Amino acid sequence: MSAPRDQPMNDDLSDEIKALNAIYGAECLISSPSDANVYTLQPPTSVVSPQLRLRLYIPPTYPQHAPTILDAGSVGSARADEVLRNVWRDGEVCFYDLVEGLREVLGGEEREEELERQTSTSTPPPPPSSRETSPPAAVIMQPLRPPTPDDAAAADPWVLAPALTEKKTTFLARCIGVTTATEAQRLITSILTDKKLQKATHNISAYRIVRDNGSVIQDNDDDGETAAGSRLAHLLQVMEVKNVLVVISRWYGGIKLGPDRFRCINTAARESLVLGGFVEEKKSSSSKGKRKK
């Protein structure tokens, strides 16, 4: 017998769904319209490829009791069930670990692109052309290095988002336009001379620069908050923002947030990018034809 749709969701599950959907996209984990205990987990193809869609039963007593995968025999369900058994711990939320475990086991488009690049670089290069050609679009990773004395120029004004507080932990996001990796590195070093930011538990940063020829220069720094820098960089990629540097400062309040911290980081970053004018508003096709209630 299915559970009624109006059954209240427990706080642990509610917070975890918000965190997952902030990190991986709005439809990563969604509830069934007909059964309050049935959910669909669908990580983006950048994380798991080919696309994986799992139906899950999440008991009302979660996380004291484990969820189960309903799609026995479906593509990827056996691997997902194995990952779920490995990451499950009584009394602890597990869906972030499940998605990351699926990333490691199944891979995604990012891994496929990397393998493709490695394969292409292993083939002999073509003979040099006498004509000049523009370089192909590529992602160029450049490390965040200490600035040189020549970089010591005055920083441009940052766009500061309102502070976000979750369970006594405070997140403060700021962003600024950049056009070179050197400029981004200089600005990071400059902002971290602020005494208030020096007292932060973590100062997470990521930048994304798109050149005229389509090539991308990007990098990130966790500053001790494991996976936070790469998640922030992924957000910049998903939002398709260009020529921007984002720094998220976090002051730990003594209560562990678990994966919910990534939702807070992404929420704060999004707000700063919107306030800074780096986000182009896109009209959703699903909103066409709908009347205001």
202's enclosing H/E stretch is strand 202-210
CB distance 168 to 254 below 8 Å: yes
Q: Which of 22-31, 72-81, 114-123, 232-241 is predicted least confidently? A: 114-123
pLDDT for position 253: 87
- The pLDDT confidence band at residue 284, using thresholds 50, 70 and 90, is very low
Residue with tokens 């056009």: 179
d(CA 5, CA 241): 38
Q: State pLDDT tens for residues 166-184.
A: 988 999 999 999 999 999 9
Q: Is the pLDDT of residue 64 over 80?
A: yes
pLDDT for position 219: 94
Q: Are strands 164-166 and 169-177 parallel, antiparallel or unpaired?
A: antiparallel
| Local structure of 1: helix, strand or coil | coil
pLDDT for position 288: 44
CB distance 95 to 29 below 8 Å: yes
Q: Note if the pTM is more than 0.85.
A: no
CA R_g for the chain: 22
Return the beta strands (E) in 28-85 as ranges.
29-31, 38-41, 54-57, 68-69
Would you identify the CATH topology of the domain 11-106?
Ubiquitin Conjugating Enzyme (3.10.110)
CATH 3.30.230.30 in the chain is located at 139-275
d(CA 16, CA 6): 19
CATH 3.10.110.10 in the chain is located at 11-106
Q: Tell me which DSSP letter residue 124 carries.
A: P
CB distance 94 to 38 below 8 Å: no
Would you identify the CATH topology of the domain 139-275?
Ribosomal Protein S5; domain 2 (3.30.230)
CB distance 222 to 232 below 8 Å: no
180: CB partners within 8 A, 6+ apart: 209, 217
d(CA 218, CA 211): 11
Q: Where are the alpha helices (DSSP H) in the chain?
A: 11-24, 77-87, 95-106, 109-122, 181-191, 195-198, 228-239, 260-275
